[in-house]
Structure 1
C-alpha cells in the first residue's frame, strides 16, 4: 500500500463515530435542486433485462456462513425470502421460498456488525432479495478498528459473493436453485460505503449490476468508476456529522452511469438506518424500488422511486436514473 493511500485513509478515522454519532455537526453543503424526473435521459441503461419483481411480501429466513479468505475470518449473515407467512421476525435456517432471487452484498460501517442493520436488510429480503453481509475482521465491533483495512474489504466482499453464489449449486443447501447469480448488487454504510464505492472503482467486480451507498465517500478507493453500466443510488444526511454531505455528493457527481441521490434534510450519519421510524421507511421503500428496477428490471418500480423518496417531505431526490 502506498504512503499516499495510507495518508488518505488515515483521514477516515472519523468513521469510528459512524454508528454512535457525535455532538458536532458538519457543515451542510448545498443540496441538489429537485429536478424533474430524468428517467428518459440518454444515460446508459442497465444491463439487466426487463422483467417483473415479486408483488407479494415474503417471510424472512436468516443463517450464518463461516467463511475465511486466507487468514481473514469472514462470517457472513444471510437474510433470504423464506417459505411461510410474511410479517414475522426472521427465523433461523428455515426453508427458502420458491423463486429465483437476486443477491445484495451489504457492508457494515466501522464499529458495526450486520445485525445492526437488520431493520433495513430484512425489508430487502422480504421484498425478494437474498442479502449477504460479511462481518469484517478489523473494522467490526470488537475488532482492532484498523481503518486502513477498509482497502482490503472490497476483495473480502468479492470473495464472499463467490461463496454465496456457489450455494445455488450446492447439493442439499437451502438456497440451492434459488439464486439469480446474474443479478447482483453491492450496498454499504459509512466505511461500508467506501467498500461499496471501491467495488465499482479500484476493485471493480464485474458481476455487480447496481450499487447503494449510504453516507459513503471515496477515501482510498477513488472515483474512477469502471466496467459495465451499473446504476447507483446514494443516500446521505445533510447534517452528517462524520462524513460531510459534500464528500458524498462529490462521489455521486463522479458516477458516469444512471444515478440518483436521496438527501435527507435532517439526516445525520445514518442512525435512521438502525431503528424503525419515518426516515427508515422512506429509505427502505426507495431502496427496495431501486433494487426491484436495477436487479429485476421492473419498469413500474422505477416509476415509483421518486415518489417514495419524497414522501413526507423528509428528503429531496436528484434523479438521473
Structure 2
C-alpha cells in the first residue's frame, strides 16, 4: 500500500539541549530534530519506552522531521543511559517524573527554540502533538487525560495538558486491576489507568501479536486506550505485530522481535496522515490513507474510528 507523502526535506538534529529540572536529581536532556526549511512548523513531543533515551526511535523521528514537524525527545529517568539503581528513591515515582518531563518541555519551548541554531521563529505553538511507545504511551496518555486509579479505585491527579492537541499512543498498556499479571500488580501500581477522561483526539496503534507478561489478557489489552476513552479516537490494529511494532524503536535494534520495514513504513505514513488531518494541514490525507489501507490486496492492518 502506498500513501501519497511529500518529498522528504533534509533534517538537522541537535542534542543535548539541557533544561534545568530542580527536584529531579538530573537536568533534563532533550534532542530536537527539525527540517532545514519551513515556517509555522507543528511540534511532536515524543516519550520513549522503558530504558530508551533521546537517541531512540529514528525510524519515526527522522520521518516526521523530514515531513515538516519539529520533534522533541527527552531522556527520562528510567533510561539505561542514566542507570538509576532500583533502590533510588525516585524509582517508584518515575512515571510522574516522566509526565513532568513532557510538561517541562512545554513550559520551556522558548528556551529550546533559542538553543537550537536555525530554529528561531519557526515553531507553531498552536499545533502540538504528543506521541509515545509502551511506557512512553502511558506517559503521554496522562497528558491526554488518562488518570491513575488509587488502591480504592478512585482517580488520582488530573495531569492533562490543554497545550497538547492530538496524541499518538503506540503499544500502550491497558487497564489494571485484575487485568494485570501478579508481577505487574506488585511492581507497577501506577499501571492502573482510567481512560474515562482521555478526551484529546488520539490515534491508538496496537499489534495483534503483542503478548505482554504484564497482563493476564492477550494483545487486545493494548486496545483499551481506544475502547475505554471518550471523544474522537482512531485505532490502527497491525496484523502480526509484536511490541516493537515492526521496529519503530531504532534501525536494526536487537530487541525487535517482529522486524518489518513494511509495517514501520505504514506507521510512518498513517501517523503523518493522522496528524496532518488533526492539525488542519491536509484534511484529505487521513481519509485517503484509511481508504488505501482498506482497499489493499494484502493489508498490514485495519483502522476503525469513533
TM bucket by the smaller chain?
0.7 to 0.9
- In the aligned structure 1, how far is the partner of 2:126 from the partner of 2:285? 19
Instruction: Tell me, yes or no, if structure 1 residue 199 matches structure 2 residue 155.
Output: no
Aligned counterpart for 1:161 among listed residues 83, 106, 114: 106
User: Structure 1: how far apart are the matches of 2:293 and 2:43?
Assistant: 23
| Corresponding residue for residue 224 of structure 1 | 196
CA contact (8 A) 1:199 1:205 kept: yes
Question: Hey, what does 2:238 align to over in structure 1?
Answer: 264
More off after superposition, 63-72 vs 140-149? 140-149
Provide the C-alpha distance between the structure 2 equivalents of 1:196 and 1:124, rounded to a whole number of angstroms. Answer: 18
Query: What per-residue deviation string (whole Å, max 9, x for no partner) do you get for residues 203-250 of structure 1?
Result: 101101000000012524431325xx6310011111113264222212
| Cα gap change, 1:113 to 1:317, in 2 (>3 Å) | same
Paired position in structure 1 for 2:124: 180
Aligned position for 2:223: 249
Return the alpha-carbon distance in structure 1 between the equivalents of residues 92 and 303 of structure 2: 31
Task: Give TM-score, length-normalised by structure 1.
Answer: 0.71
Aligned ranges 1:106-145 → 2 under 5 Å: 106-144=46-84
Q: Flag the 1:307–1:166 CA change in 2: closer, same or farther, 3 A.
A: farther
Deviation of 1:55 after TM superposition, in Å, equals 4.3
- Is 1:67–1:74's contact at 8 Å kept on the other side of the alignment? yes
Partner Cα distance (1:127, 1:199) in 2: 24
Query: How far is 1:319 from its partner?
Result: 2.3
CA contact (8 A) 2:38 2:68 kept: no
Contact 2:53 2:75 in 1 (8 A): yes
1:10 aligns with none
- Name whichever of 175-184 and 133-142 sits farther off: 133-142
- Paired with 1:130 and 1:171, the residues of 2 have a C-alpha distance of 14
Extract structure 1 runs of 4+ deviating beyond 6 A.
Answer: none
After TM superposition, the structure 1 = structure 2 runs for residues 1-321 of structure 1, keeping only pairs within 5 Å, are: 55-64=6-15, 65-72=17-24, 73-82=27-36, 97-144=37-84, 146=91, 148-168=93-113, 170=114, 173-201=117-145, 202-217=158-173, 219-225=191-197, 230-242=200-212, 244-272=218-246, 273=248, 274-275=250-251, 277-307=261-291, 309-310=293-294, 311=296, 312-320=298-306
Structure 2: any 5+ residue segments left out of the alignment? 146-157, 175-190, 252-259
Higher relative contact order (CA 8 A, sep 6+): 1
Shift of 1:122: 0.5
Partners of 2:98 and 2:139 within 8 A in 1? yes
Deviation at 1:111, TM superposition (A): 1.3
Partner Cα distance (1:271, 1:115) in 2 = 18
Structure 1 residues without counterparts, runs of 5 or longer:
1-53, 83-96
Q: Deviations over 1:259-317 (max 9, x none)?
A: 11111120000152134711100111000111111124421112223145555411111
- Partner Cα distance (1:148, 1:304) in 2: 42
User: When the two structures are superposed, what TM-score results if normalisation uses the length of structure 2?
Assistant: 0.74
- Name the SS for the 2:18 alignment partner: strand
CA–CA separation in structure 2 for the residues paired with 1:308 and 1:165: 39
